[in-house]
């Protein structure tokens, strides 16, 4: 099944607006993606400046325009700040499969915000995109991420590895 993310699927929860990323988010995204606590367990090329951040935003926007992924900014309804991001990517259409990625500013950790975003995105993935499997790869020592995934009933597949990321573990959720 192929997907179409135009118009962008803005979603709402009790405390959050999940919306498209724009160039106006560059400063906040740079702050998030260079925050030591956020990137502690995430092995990816870091952003060095705002110009690289704008290039990243451009890349994500193209991904969404081309329906290769969908990436939401998690925005607070109370102060309209960018709190984090969440996205689905690496769609495998024959298997109705996607991978989930997520990150939240430490200022908002452990207050149920990512669980609230997950509830909405998982429901969107299973109901609107007709996914059967959503997979998260997370570092084996990332206790916060593992606690979140287990709370969401993701199941560890200890034998699976993400190519190039030996310390990451696979957690999968199948649509019941
Ligand atoms: C992983 C992350 C998104 C969790 O977000 P969060 O909003 O703090 O999570 P929630 O508040 O919704 O918590 C979900 C569950 O995980 C538990 N949890 C969250 N952080 C925890 C921690 N540091 N240690 C132990 N348990 C933790 C919560 O207690 C909750 O379980 P409970 O309801 O049974 O108490 C956040 O820690 C983060 O952004 N980390 C940095 C980025 C990252 O590692 N992303 C994942 C990449 S794969």
- Residue 124 is predicted with a pLDDT of 98
Structure tokens at 155: 């199941």
Ranges of each domain in the chain: 11-174
d(CA 169, CA 140): 6
- Residue 2 is predicted with a pLDDT of 82
- Residue 176 is predicted with a pLDDT of 76
List pocket residues of ligand 1, CB cut-off 6 Å: 38, 41-42, 102-104, 109-115, 138, 142-145, 147-148, 151
Mean of the pLDDT values across residues 18-38? 97
User: Which tens digit of pLDDT belongs to each residue from 92-102?
Assistant: 999 999 999 99
Is the predicted pLDDT of residue 1 greater than 80, yes or no?
A: no
Which protein residue has the closest C-alpha to ligand 1 atom 36?
104
Q: How many A from CA of 46 to the centre of ligand 1?
A: 22
d(CA 31, CA 2): 33
Q: How many A from CA of 110 to the centre of ligand 1?
A: 6
**118 HSE (CA, 13 A, CB side):** 23
User: Which tens digit of pLDDT belongs to each residue from 44-86?
Assistant: 888 999 999 999 999 999 999 999 999 999 999 999 999 999 9
Please provide the DSSP assignment of 86-111 as one string.
Answer: EEEEEEEGGGTEEEEEEEE-GGGTTS
Minimum-distance ligand 1 atom for the alpha carbon of 168: 48
In terms of pTM, does the model score above 0.85? yes
Q: What Cα–Cα distance (Å) separates residue 22 from each residue in 68, 82, 99?
A: 17, 11, 22
d(CA 61, CA 55): 10
Identify which of 88, 109, 143 to mutate to test ligand 1's pocket (most ligand atoms within 8 A of the CB): 109
Is the predicted pLDDT of residue 10 greater than 80, yes or no?
A: yes
Mean of the pLDDT values across residues 29-58? 95
% the chain with pLDDT above 90: 95
Q: Give the CATH architecture of domain 11-174.
A: 3-Layer(aba) Sandwich (3.40)
């Amino acid at each position: 099944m192929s997907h179409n993310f135009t118009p962008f699927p803005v979603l709402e929860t009790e405390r959050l607006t999940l919306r498209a990323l724009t160039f106006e988010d560059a400063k906040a995204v740079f702050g998030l993606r260079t925050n030591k606590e956020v990137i502690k367990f995430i092995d990816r090329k870091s952003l060095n400046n705002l110009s690289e951040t704008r290039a990243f935003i451009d890349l994500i926007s193209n991904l969404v325009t081309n329906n290769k992924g969908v990436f939401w900014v998690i925005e607070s309804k109370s102060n309209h700040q960018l709190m984090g991001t969440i996205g689905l990517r690496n769609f495998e259409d024959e298997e109705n499969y996607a991978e989930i990625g997520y990150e939240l500013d430490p200022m908002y950790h452990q207050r149920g915000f990512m669980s609230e975003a997950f509830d909405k995105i998982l429901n969107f993935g299973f109901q609107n995109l007709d996914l059967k499997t959503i997979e998260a790869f997370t570092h084996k020592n990332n206790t916060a991420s593992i606690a979140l995934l287990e709370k969401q009933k993701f199941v560890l597949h200890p034998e699976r590895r993400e190519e190039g990321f030996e310390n990451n573990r696979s957690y999968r959720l199948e649509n019941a």
